[in-house]
A = this chain, B = another copy of it.
Amino acid sequence: MTIGRTLESDPIEEARRQWIDHGWTAAADGMAAVTSIVRAQQIVLQRIDTVLRPLDLTFARYEILTLLSFTKRGSLPMTRMGALLQVHPTSVTSAVDRLESQGFVERLPHPKDRRAVLASITEAGRARALAATHALNGQVFEQLGITEHQINQLRTVLRALRANAGDF
């Protein structure tokens, strides 16, 4: 599962030093922060996929199932899910295709708008989503390896970044 052997030093810190040595000092910290985000996402997504693979789910499909399970009727229009989860409409289509073939979701016609399609979670979908959440909680979300204080720093800073990007 691990990609390479252990490295002698932090490659991101080394890149940051290179930036400074080349005179790009104003961008050095930002470059290091961005690269850290990309790498951290690889790490957590790899852990998530490892936990989710035995359950035949990916993170994208897990997010859809969990979102649907939180709604009152267990269903949402496709476009609405794309907006809430910040993914492209085509990604929603392909993910729902797979979830439907797995029996976790079914497509229903929208009662008011004949253009729209409702994705509705099934009982099997609810059960699988719950099992996945319990596995992720215990094996990923409660095991990040950083302090509670650091977790909250992360949430706060990234919320500022997301807000600046127009996320909400």
Contacts and interface: CB of A to CB of B under 8 A. Distances in A.
Nearest to A157: B150
A30 interface: yes
B157 A146 contact: yes
Contacts of A166: 2, 6
Interface string A44-69: 11001000000000010000001000
A32 B140 CA distance: 12
Contacts of A33: 144, 151, 154-155, 158
A93 interface: no
Given A86-B39, A144-B33, A154-B154, A8 B168 contact: yes
A26 B161 contact: no
Interface string A134-168: 00111011111110101111110111111111111
Q: How many copies does the complex hold?
A: 2
A55 B100 CA distance: 39
Interface residues of A, number: 74
A106 interface: no
Interface stretch (A10-18, A108-116, A120-128): A10-18
18 contacts: A2-B166, A3-B83, A3-B87, A4-B82, A10-B159, A10-B162, A12-B162, A18-B70, A27-B138, A30-B143, A31-B141, A33-B151, A34-B140, A36-B159, A40-B41, A40-B162, A146-B161, A150-B157
